[in-house]
Amino acid sequence: MFKEYLGEFEELVLLIIAKHEDQSYGLLICDEIHEETGRRATIGAVHATVVRLEKKGLIETDMGGATNERGGRRKRLIRITDAGKQSLLKSRDMKVNLWQKIPDLMISKT
């Protein structure tokens, strides 16, 4: 049960990973986060989250794709696993479920 719990930032990262199929890597995720939410995440923060997600089995990583500006270093390419997809769906369903239980008056009026 504990393993399946997804943090807010983790979920964000996982969604972005899912969006890019198997082409996402650290810096790309940073950029996407900034683009989508306006938040600035440091490279360290993203990598730390990636390590955590991998430990939970929600993603898989591979090395590949060196470019010049990286000084010839490979990227750590990330791909979402089935467990990851499940976890995203579950998180969404849970929220939709909760949303539906909110009385209309509470939110639409404000």
Partner 1 sequence: MSQRPPRLADWLLSKICRPELLEAVKGDLHEYFARNNGSVKSKLHYWFQVLNILRPQLIQSIRLSERSFGILFKYNLLFAFRNMKRQKFYTFLNVLGISVGLTCCIFISLFVLDEWSYDKHWKNKEEIYRVYVDIDFGTTQARYANATAPMADIFENEYDDVLIAARWINSPRLTFRINDALFEESNVIYADQDILEIFSMEAIHGQIENALDIPNSLVLTETTSRKYFGDQNPVDKVLTTASGTSFKVTCVIKDIQRNSHFNADILRTTINDPWSDPSKVSFLSYWTSSPYRTYLKLRPGTDPQVLVEKFESIYTKYFDPVTQAFSGQNWAEFKADGNKYSYQLQPLNEVYLYSDFQNDGLKQGDIRYLYMFSLIGLFILFMAYANFVNLTTARATQRYKEIGMKKVIGSSRIQLIKQFLLESILISVLGLVIAIGLVYLYFPTFLEITGKDLADPLFNQHQIWLYILLITIATSTLAGYYPAIILSGIPSIKALKGNSAQTSQGFSLRNFLVLFQYFIVVILVIGTVVVYLQLNFLERQDLGYSRENILVVNNAWAAGNQLDELKVSLAAMPEVSRISALRHVPGDLNFFGGMMFQANHNTQEGRVNCKRLWVDSAMIPTLDLQLITGRNFDETSLRDSMSVIITKTAVNSLGLGSEPLGKRISFTDGKNESFKVIGVVEDFHIRSLKSPLFAIALHHTPQPTRLAIKYQTSDLPLFIDKIQDKWDNFVATHVMSYQFGTDRYDRFYRSEQRMKSIVDFFVLVALFIASLGMIGLASLVTVQRKKELGVRKVLGARVEQLIWMVSKSLTQPILFAILVGIPVGWIFMNRWLEGFAYRIEIDWKLIVLSVSSTIFVASAVVISLTYRSARANPVDNLRHE
- Shorter beta-carbon distance to partner 1: residue 67 or 86: 67
Strand stretches in 7-103, DSSP E = 59-64, 75-80
User: For residues 44 and 90, what is the distance between their CA atoms, to the nearest angstrom?
Assistant: 27
Q: Determine how many CB atoms are found less than 10 A away from the CB of residue 47.
A: 16
- Shorter beta-carbon distance to partner 1: residue 25 or 80: 25
User: For residues 65 and 29, what is the distance between their CA atoms, to the nearest angstrom?
Assistant: 16
- Shorter beta-carbon distance to partner 1: residue 73 or 90: 73
User: For residues 92 and 7, what is the distance between their CA atoms, to the nearest angstrom?
Assistant: 13
Binding residues for partner 1, per CB under 8 A? 25-27, 30, 42-45, 47-48, 51-52, 63, 66-67, 69-71, 73-76
